Amino acid sequence: MSICELKSHIVDSQFYSSSYTTDEARRIFCDKYRYQRWLDIEAALALAQAELGVIPEDVVIGSRYARVGDAIILSGSIAEHGVVIMTQREGLAFASDIKSDTAPLHFLVERMLGVSKDIHVLRDPTRGGVGTALNEIADRSHVGIVIHEDKIPIRKEVLGICELMGFDPLYIANEGKLLAFVGPTHAGKILAAMHADPNGREARIIGEVVSENPGRIKNLPKYL
């Protein structure tokens, strides 16, 4: 048998594939149950953190809780991680110092909650980027969102590479950024707290939540 005839996955194997066709095996390996187990683990972790006081009792945060009037904060410049991955994957080299923005955000969130609990949504715009995250929040919270294009932080080098490769940076993955929807009266001090953290120094208010056009985003720029 030549190397080209060898199977790359156990499910394709002539010898072992039948082991994954029973009902019991499907319950273990099918997408539905695999994702459910992941969600079960996340839920169990959240409960344990709440019992230990890691998650404060008086904090209710989720993509369904955006409120009219909320200020929308983005913690820093976008699309850097995705651009690095794509250029490396394609074997491209550019005269820039762009690096992945991968970073832990729990210390930043701790700072934010330390100055105010008036935080309604926290979201890391990973797969699908900032644009997808904003659309999901608008839909789940049944609110409208207005974005100020000139406030979205993006490096010129990242924008240039995106234009060259034909990608919209708003829909490219980030690994060390977050979106926060916060009460307008506390937005200033939350933003100041973020600026004191290495992972929030470039944080900006990029928009606000409105009652008009629920589920939609106004002024979301299209870079392509």
The structure tokens 């651009």 sit at 83
The answer on 136 and 175 residing in a single domain is yes
What's residue 120's pLDDT? Answer: 97
Rounded mean pLDDT, 3-7? 48
Per-residue model confidence as pLDDT tens digits over 23-75:
777 667 677 777 788 888 988 988 888 788 777 777 889 999 999 999 999 99
The answer on 107 and 214 residing in a single domain is yes
The answer on 149 and 113 residing in a single domain is yes
The answer on 106 and 43 residing in a single domain is no
Per-residue model confidence as pLDDT tens digits over 173-183:
999 999 999 99
Residue 179's beta-bridge partner residues?
74, 123
Rounded mean pLDDT, 143-162? 91
The structure tokens 């707290």 sit at 193
Domain at 136, CATH number: 3.90.650.10
State which residues form the domain around 172: 71-218
Could you give the number of structural domains in the chain?
2
pLDDT band at 210 (very low <50, low <70, confident <90, very high): very high
Q: Can you spell out the DSSP letters for 107-155?
A: HHHHHHHHH-S-EEEEE---TTHHHHHHHHHHHHHT-EEEE-GGGS---
What's residue 17's pLDDT? Answer: 59
Residue 63 in any domain: the answer is no
Dihedral, CA atoms, 165, 171, 175, 176, nearest 10 degrees?
110
Other Cβ atoms closer than 10 A to 38: 10
The structure tokens 């594939």 sit at 17
- Helix (H) and strand (E) counts in the chain: 7, 6
DSSP-derived 3-state class of residue 211: coil
**What's the chain's Rg over C-alpha atoms?**
21
Q: Is the pTM of this model over 0.85?
A: no
